[in-house]
Each structure stands twice: as structure tokens, then as C-alpha cells.
Amino acid sequence: MKNSQTIHLLWPSDKCKEEYEASNKDIDGSFIKNLGVEQIVEEISINEKYRNEIRNLICFLCDDYTVIKYRLDILEDFLRLPGLCQRLEEVLPIMNRLKNEKIELYSLGANQFRKIAWQLDKLYIYVECIEEMKSIFREYKKDMKSDGLLRLCGYIEGISSGDTYQSLKRELPKFRNQIEEMSFVTIGINLDNTLKPVEAVFLSVESKPFKKQSVLSNFLGLKITNEDNQGISQFHSFLNKPAFEKALFDDLEDIFKASILPIGTAIRQYTKLNTEAITNLALEIGYYIGASKWIHKLTSAGLSMCKPTALPKEKRECKIKNLRDMILAMDGMHLTGVNLNEKIVSNDIEFGTQGRVYILTGPNQGGKTTYTRSIGLAQVLFQAGLYVPGSAAAISPVDWICTHFNEEETPDVNNGRLGEESQRLAEVFEKATSYSLILLNETFSSTSPGEGLYLAEDIIKGIVMVGCRTVFATHFHELAANIDVINSEFPESDTRLISMVAGVERDEDSENEAFRVKRTYKVIPSPPQGLSYAKDIARMYGISLEQITEKLQIRGRIK
């Protein structure tokens, strides 16, 4: 591998990165808010300076499954080798220093001599980075399995064994010694017979800083209370006169030209070293370190996390066993004595030829919103190259995630909530492809049941024509009951509707009739059960006709 090439831990090649950056994707604010993505970004960002780039990385949804697999394999190595993770974390400050040196090198107002000194310091930091990484990879290479880390090992080995790098290692101490020999200059000041300074000139350059008490102060019998102001400070106003200042610094520039410019010429041959390739690795290594620490915290709290199998986008599938909601998991991972697998109900997900559009019904607070969110978050995590909360998974990437979660009506929505919902759904048919994921939660609940059902059916039929994966959580049980009719209208489509039901089962053993229906938060394929358990839900809240009649009789309102 040539040293001029770049190396990435997030991209298998420069081409993959360039194609992705050229796509000009925008971050969807609703998507971040509805799925709680910001909470994940905060957990993974081990350094505040990485936060924006990590947010972009997670939210921009890379849909190349080869890139996703590349990342997942690297993350697996970080998780398997905690010692490697720790050692690389120790190198991050050195990488960041190298990046900061690059900025300082081009600071405004810096003269060429200081730039040479900065360039020399940058090369020292560069060598320190390479040596540290070479040591780390020498120790852990035998245990690595991912293509990305093995390629990085080869890259570092190629640099460190190259003639240019070896020459730099030999020459750097000599250059440093030459710079250090310029730590102190001697100025000669000619005086007249009244001891008035009349001219000054640089006499020599010394290798050690001047630390002695001012001989001139002793000679003049001056008492100096501030040691920092000794030496030439007595002639400060004299030396600051433009004529003398120009003469002095012209002389100093001549000295620097004689001493430093040859160093600049000598180190110019090393400018072809690709230091930027190393500085760019800081974010990428930081990303994997943050992700592996986050996953370890979750698994230590009892949550099952798995490495998903990356499927080609064209398969349009998503299969996850025992999926749990990541937001609930993060809310609970800091609690002591809590096993997240036991605390959070899991559900199986299977989008494929048997069903790509879920019509999800169930009672309020039955888990529909959490279930819908958990699917979106699993997709986001997968496409960022991260593990998902489940026991097994195989997922195809999507090219876009559209979320529409029901919110309370606010005065700043010009057309009311129905207008806002309609605008959002119009975007679906302007942007969605068969590779997209649409997550709708209680859409059209703001309008009348008749109008809402009519609109919902049209939207669902449109989604079937697009062919994208969809979850539509709704109270329109009639929509779920009409699935077979809608499917029959599209006999050639491979996008089928399936009825999913959330969170209710009968408990015939309950002594209290009002609690014979309980929420389980399990979501299963099933015909809609709205009509069959509506009376039980009414009893739970004390509003069945029998309960209402009894209350009115007690109050004496009826006989």
C-alpha cells in the first residue's frame, strides 16, 4: 500500500466515501425527534468535538450494505478486544494534537521561521502516532478479523517500514537540536559617554536560555524588584524605536535564515507524508470506542445486543428476533439491579414477501408507539454499522426513513393538524422508493373516524404501489379488517399488508372483571381485535354500560 493513499475505518474505499458525500442527504429533524436519535448520539460521543460528525454519520443513513458490513466487522473486533480499544483510546489525544498542529501551522501572521518550527513539531507528533499505533497493532494483529483493522495494520506497517519515514526518524533529532540551539540571543548595545544607548546589534545565538541576574543592572546599581524585567528591559523604550527595531530584527532575520531555512529545506522532502490520513482516523477510532463502550454498558445491564447480518438493499427485508426498544433500554441501563431483557418486552420483526406493510392496532398505551419506534431505531443503528437490541437480525438498508408521530395540535400549524399530516404524507409520495421505511403513528386521528379511515385507506394503497416497508399504528380497526380486500386489489405486488395487534390478552383467572384484559406489550400477527375486546377495555376504565347504569342508580339519577 502506498503511503500517499488514505485509509478509513468507516469506508472500505475513497470511492465509497465520495459517492456518499456526493448524495447531499439532509438530516430530517422529525426523524431525529420521533425516534430519539439524539440520545444515542450523546451516548456514543466520547468527545464533544465528535458529536456533530457522529450525528451526521448516524442520521445520513448509508444504504450500501458492503459499507455497513465493513463497519460491523470492525466494531466486532473492538468489542472482542477491549485491550485494543483501550490502547487506541490512549492514542486519540496524540492524533488530536497532530490535527491542532495542522491548524496552528497556518495561523494568521506566522512568519516562515515559526512555520518551519511548527512543521517540525508536527512531524514529531506524526512519528509518535505511527510508533504508538505500530506497537498496538503488533500486539493485537493476530487476534483481529476485520478487513478494516487489518488494512489499517498494513497501512501503518507500510509507512513505518518506508524509506521516507525511516529517514525522518533519523533526521528529526538533528533538526530538533538545531532548533533548540536557538533558545537565547545576545544583543550588543553601544553607549555614549553618558551611558545613553546609541545603537544595538545581535551578537550571537546561544543554545541555553539566559537565566543569570542582569550584569548591566549590577553595573548601574539599579534595584530591580521584578526579576522578569531584568536584562534589556532598562532599554525597552530605546529598543522599541522604529529605526533600532528594524535594524535589530533585520539582523535577527539574517540569523534565522542562516540557521532555520536549511532545516525548512531539509524537512520539505517529508511534506509528502499524508499526515491528514492519520488525523482523520481520530473521529473514526473515537466512533468505534464510543460505540463499544455504549454496547458494553447495555449488555452489562442485561440487554441482548447482536451483530446484524447485512443484506443487499434489493432484498427489502428486515428480520429481528427479540427486538427491544433502545430508548427504554438506555433509560434503564443506569438503574442498579435491573435486567433489561427482563424489564423490556421483546418482539419479533419480519418484513418480507409475507408482509411489508404492518397495520398495527391495539389499545392506548398498549405498546404501539414503542414498537414502531423500536423498528426505526434498529434500522438506524444497523445502517450506522452498530449492533441492534435483539438476539439475531438480518436487515436490508433503506434509502430514507419517514416518520410521522402524532403530536398535540399547536397554534403555529397554519392548516391545523390534518393539514400538517397531509403535507407530511405528501412528501412520502415525492421521495419514497421501494427501499424506504415509513413509520406512521396515529396518523389522521385528528379527523372524524369516517374521514380518517377514507384517507388512511388511500395512503396505504399508495404505499403498496410504492412497495416500501411500513408500520401504520392506528385506531382504525376497520382498516386492518379490510386488509384482504386491499391486498386483492394488487395481485401482482410483492408488498403485502399484514394485520399486527399490540398488547392485549384475556386473563380469565382475574377475580376483578375490570382487569380481565391486560396489556402485554407483545405485538403479533393477528386479525384486529378491536370489537372483541372493546367491552373489556370499557370495564377496565369503568365505562361499560352496566357500570355506568350502576353508578347512575347509586347517585339516584335513574331507578
The span from the CA of 128 to the CA of 125, in Å, is 5
Q: What is the DSSP letter of 390?
A: S
**Is 299 part of a structural domain of the chain?**
no
- Fill in the amino acid letter for 32: I
pLDDT tens string 205-244 = 565 665 555 444 554 444 544 545 444 445 555 555 555 5
User: Are the C-beta atoms of residues 49 and 386 closer than 8 Å to each other?
Assistant: no
More confident residue, 246 or 556: 556
With respect to residue 326, please indicate whether it lies within any of the assigned structural domains. Answer: yes
My answer on whether 282 and 377 are in the same domain is no
Same-domain pairing of 479 and 493 = yes
pLDDT over 60 at 515, yes or no: no
In a domain? residue 9: no
Most confident region among 118-122, 367-371, 441-445 by mean pLDDT:
367-371
Please, which pLDDT band fits residue 409 given cuts at 50, 70 and 90?
very low
Contact of 485 with 508, CB cutoff 8 Å: no
Distance between CA atoms of residues 231 and 216, nearest Å: 7
Lowest mean pLDDT among 173-177, 347-351, 496-500: 173-177
List, in sequence order, every beta strand (DSSP E) within 332-482. 347-351, 357-361, 392-395, 401-405, 437-441, 469-473
Average pLDDT over residues 48-54: 92
Query: Does some domain include residue 335?
Result: yes
Are 227 and 95 part of one and the same domain?
A: no
Residue 523 pairs in a beta bridge with 502
pLDDT at residue number 412: 44
pLDDT at 375 over 90: yes
Q: Please give the C-alpha separations between residue 52 and each of 45, 284, 437, in angstroms, as whole numbers.
A: 9, 13, 24
Q: Give me the mean pLDDT over the 129-152 stretch.
A: 97
Structural domain total, the chain:
4
Residues 110 and 198 in one domain: no
Check residue 377 and give its pLDDT. 97
Please state, as a whole number, how many other Cβ atoms lie within 10 Å of the Cβ of residue 86: 11
User: Looking at residues 405-414, what average pLDDT do you find?
Assistant: 51
Q: Which of 232, 262, 293 is the last residue of a domain?
A: 293
On whether the CB atoms of residues 440 and 468 are closer than 8 A, the answer is no
Q: Could you tell me the pLDDT band of residue 122, with boundaries at 50, 70 and 90?
A: confident
CATH number reported for the structural domain that contains residue 520 in this entry: 3.40.50.300
- State whether 278 and 162 are in the same domain: yes
Are 82 and 152 in the same domain?
A: yes
Determine, yes or no, domain membership for 213: yes
Domain identity same for 219 and 90: no
- Strand order of the sheet with strand 401-405? 401-405, 437-441, 469-473, 357-361, 497-502, 523-525
Better pLDDT: 183 or 471: 471
Q: Is residue 191 part of a domain?
A: yes
445 lies in the same domain as 318: yes
Highest mean pLDDT among 102-116, 218-232, 257-271, 511-525: 511-525
Does residue 261 sit within a domain? Answer: no
> The C-alpha cell of 218 is what?
549590577
Give the pLDDT band (50/70/90) at residue 510. Answer: low
Residues 123-137: pLDDT tens digits?
889 999 999 999 999
3-state helix, strand, coil in the chain (%, to 5): 55, 15, 30
Assess whether 472 and 507 both reside in one domain: yes
List the single range of 71-80, 215-224, 345-354, 372-381 with lowest mean pLDDT: 215-224
Give me 317's grid cell: 427485508
Which CA distances in Å does 63 have to 311, 353, 384, 468?
A: 10, 20, 9, 15
The pLDDT score that the predictor gives to residue 426 is 83
CA angle 334, 339, 344 (to 5 degrees): 95
Q: Measured between alpha carbons, how far is 310 from 315 in angstroms, rounded to an integer? A: 11
What's the confidence (pLDDT) of residue 387?
98
- How confident is the model over 60-77, as a mean pLDDT? 96
Q: Of 310, 281, 284, nearest to 64 (Cα)?
A: 310
Partners of 500 in the β-ladder: 360, 525
Residues 160 and 199 in one domain: no
CA atoms of 142 and 329, how far apart (whole Å) = 35
DSSP 31: H
**Residue 96 reports pLDDT greater than 50:** yes
Higher-confidence residue: 49 or 308?
A: 308
437 pLDDT higher than 80: yes
User: Does residue 260 form part of some domain?
Assistant: no
Q: What is the pLDDT of residue 1?
A: 39
pLDDT of residue 275: 81
Residue 236 domain boundaries = 183-240
Kindly state whether residues 350 and 475 are assigned to the same domain: yes
Question: What is the end-to-end Cα distance of the chain in Å, rounded?
Answer: 93
In this prediction, residue 118 has a pLDDT band, given cuts at 50, 70 and 90, of confident
Cα–Cα distance measured from residue 416 to residue 521, given in angstroms and rounded to the nearest whole number: 32
Q: Are residues 173 and 209 in the same domain?
A: no
**Helix spans in 106-197 (H):** 112-140, 147-161, 163-180
